A and B are shown apart, each in its own frame.
Chain A
Amino acid sequence: MSRVPHALAVRGLRKRYGSVEALKGVDLVVGEGELVGLLGPNGAGKSTLVKIAAGLVRPSGGRAEIAGARAGTRAARAALGYLAELFRFPGWYTADEVLELHQRLAGSTGGAAERRRLLELVALDEAAKRRVDGMSKGMQQRLGIAQALVGEPRLLLLDEPTSALDPVGRRTIRLLLEELRGRGVSVLLNSHLLSEIELVCDRVAILLGGELVAAGTPAELSRPRGVELETDAGTQLVAGAARDDVPRLVATAVQDGRDVYGVRVLTSTLEDTYLEAVGGETD
């Protein structure tokens, strides 16, 4: 039985710009229908990795494959949708015309129905006939996401998709990402917004100095920070304790004659994990 290739498979990926080594042998996989968040400070190599996957940048070594095809090839480009961090559409195009252009470039046969569906998906159905230069930055960002979804790609590469959005716009995108995951679309999301990644991503990869320093589900990446016991004597933090220790801690407190009102298992947030992984390195 043949195995379905990963939506994105990156093996030993290296990229050098002159004397600067942007990627130093990165391995990363985005499975079918998986939403993976890419984190790291500026200059960590996140955008370079996404650009290599999109075929915009040539790697110096290693391999990146989209749905089994080498990144940059026609087959790989046909399987992906991409939203660049900095992008622009011709100002004289309407939203509908932008999508129509990309349908033609992508060879999509979805027609007007696909365009209507995509504009509804990003809450721009009322602005189908509005010209790009008459749109706010947030609307253009949402149009960019709709553009990336033209042709029903297997893999969506999103480079800072919410950077220009207000909280409502971010929520719209978050809901959209969850819907896409429900439809089986794989997503690699490069974002600085930890809370956003923590909320929607199945797995998180943290890059630092061109190397992958941590990867896993948000739960796997979190560290136990102790157990908080609330008794009649007050609130007590048992540092180093984990979820498995709770029955023993409660039993001990009861044996000591305490009334136990509450127990809370404390774990690190993604932000704590991230700061730990990057060693406090700032942008």
Chain B
Amino acid sequence: MFAVVVLLTVLFLFLFWLANHFVFTQLDQISPPADVNVDTRTFAGAFMFGLALFATLFLGVVLAVFLTIGVVSGDAERGLLQPLVVRPVGRSTLLLSRFLGAAGVCVAYVLAVYFAAMLITGLTGHWWPDRLVWPGVELAFGVVIVIGLSLLGSVVLSSTANGIGVFMLFGAGLVAGLLGTIGHALNSHAVKHASTIAAWALPFEALYQDALRMITENASGLTGFLLQLGPFGGAYVHGWGIRVWSVGYLVAVLALTLWAFSRRNL
């Protein structure tokens, strides 16, 4: 399984480098009209790296889901879990170990892909994000939240239902983020409100949006405005509020998971 993940990731990074190479080689040809004052290098770099952030989140979530999709229901159906949980070490320790194992693998993976993509964009296009480390940390923490949700799902749902459920939540989060961008572009209060609620309900999406915001947080003028409008635009729920909420959200999800697992018949 890990060989497949490594192979596909290397393939993705190669294609990402290829895309960067062509975009930055042809930067002069994609210049905006002369009367529009846009920093094309920042514009292209932010778009390319924003795309990499999305891909990194997606790959990280795929890895997270497949590592945790059947931790309880799947392993119980296959008879892997029962010999372990009857041991004195107990259910909570076992589940937290699985969580930490999956989180360790996914955080390492997300950070590796994030920094690799940053190096590719920086070295190919000579563009670097405004914040180097925090966006990667937020992206990785977003994936850790998905791990928590997937573990909770594995306690109460079958593996297949859990996989479908987590990917639907992930998709809903992404759609809500795009909806927020559209809401701000149209200045629609209702759409913005719905997007804000979704961001707090699914904080992995808010963290992803905040990571996008931070890579161009110093961009100003028309460049900054256009980046805000784009699909990889800035966050409308951001800052320490959502970060603290995300930590509390994860703790609550894990507590609920442990409680549900302690009561589950195996």
Q: Interface on A for B, CB 8 Å cutoff?
A: 51, 54-58, 74, 77-78, 80, 82-84, 86-90, 102, 105-107, 144, 147
Question: B90 in the interface, Cβ–Cβ < 8 Å?
Answer: yes
Report the nearest A residue to B76, measured CB to CB: A56
Cα separation A107 to B87 with both chains bound (whole Å): 9
Cβ contact within 8 Å between A57 and B266: yes
Q: Interface on B for A, CB 8 Å cutoff?
A: 78-80, 82-90, 263, 265-266
Report the nearest B residue to A81, measured CB to CB: B86
Cβ contact within 8 Å between B83 and A51: no
Cβ contact within 8 Å between A105 and B88: yes
Cβ contact within 8 Å between B265 and A56: yes
A-B contacts, CB under 8 A, total: 54
Cβ contact within 8 Å between A88 and B79: yes
**Which of A57, A78, A87, A105 contacts B79, CB < 8 Å?**
A87
Cβ contact within 8 Å between A147 and B83: yes
What residues of chain B lie closer than 8 Å to A78, measured between beta carbons? 88
What residues of chain B lie closer than 8 Å to A102, measured between beta carbons? 83, 87
Cβ contact within 8 Å between B80 and A90: yes
**Which of B78, B90, B265 contacts A88, CB < 8 Å?**
B78
What residues of chain B lie closer than 8 Å to A54, measured between beta carbons? 82, 86
**Which of A56, A77, A90, A105 contacts B266, CB < 8 Å?**
A56
Cβ contact within 8 Å between A84 and B88: no
Cβ contact within 8 Å between B86 and A82: yes
Cβ contact within 8 Å between B80 and A88: yes
Cβ contact within 8 Å between B266 and A82: no
Dominant SS at the A interface?
Answer: mixed
Known A51-B266, A58-B265; contact A86-B79, beta-carbon cutoff 8 A: yes
Cα separation A147 to B82 with both chains bound (whole Å): 12
**Which of B80, B89, B263 contacts A105, CB < 8 Å?**
B89
Cα separation A121 to B265 with both chains bound (whole Å): 32
Cα separation A207 to B86 with both chains bound (whole Å): 24
Cα separation A225 to B265 with both chains bound (whole Å): 44
With most chain A CB atoms within 10 A of its CB, the pick from B84, B89, B263 is: B89
Dominant SS at the B interface?
Answer: loop
Cα separation A147 to B166 with both chains bound (whole Å): 35
What residues of chain B lie closer than 8 Å to A89, measured between beta carbons? 80, 83
A-B contact pairs, 8 of them (CB 8 A): A54-B86, A74-B88, A77-B87, A89-B80, A90-B80, A105-B89, A106-B88, A107-B89
Cβ contact within 8 Å between B87 and A87: no
What residues of chain B lie closer than 8 Å to A57, measured between beta carbons? 265-266
Cα separation A13 to B243 with both chains bound (whole Å): 48
What residues of chain B lie closer than 8 Å to A80, measured between beta carbons? 86
What residues of chain A lie closer than 8 Å to B84, measured between beta carbons? 105
What residues of chain B lie closer than 8 Å to A147, measured between beta carbons? 83
Cα separation A57 to B82 with both chains bound (whole Å): 11
Cα separation A83 to B86 with both chains bound (whole Å): 10
With most chain A CB atoms within 10 A of its CB, the pick from B86, B88, B265, B266 is: B86
Cα separation A154 to B237 with both chains bound (whole Å): 57
What residues of chain A lie closer than 8 Å to B79, measured between beta carbons? 84, 86-88
**Which of B83, B263, B265 contacts A82, CB < 8 Å?**
B83
Report the nearest B residue to A148, measured CB to CB: B83
The 10 closest A-B pairs by CB, nearest first: A105-B87, A87-B79, A86-B79, A56-B266, A78-B88, A84-B82, A57-B265, A88-B79, A82-B86, A105-B89
What residues of chain B lie closer than 8 Å to A74, measured between beta carbons? 88, 90
What residues of chain A lie closer than 8 Å to B90, measured between beta carbons? 74, 77
What residues of chain A lie closer than 8 Å to B85, measured between beta carbons? 55-56
Cβ contact within 8 Å between A87 and B88: no
| CB of A21, distance to nearest CB on chain B (Å) | 15
Report the nearest A residue to B263, measured CB to CB: A58
Cα separation A225 to B85 with both chains bound (whole Å): 47
Report the nearest B residue to A55, measured CB to CB: B86
What residues of chain B lie closer than 8 Å to A87, measured between beta carbons? 79-80, 82-83
Cβ contact within 8 Å between A56 and B88: no
Report the nearest A residue to B264, measured CB to CB: A58
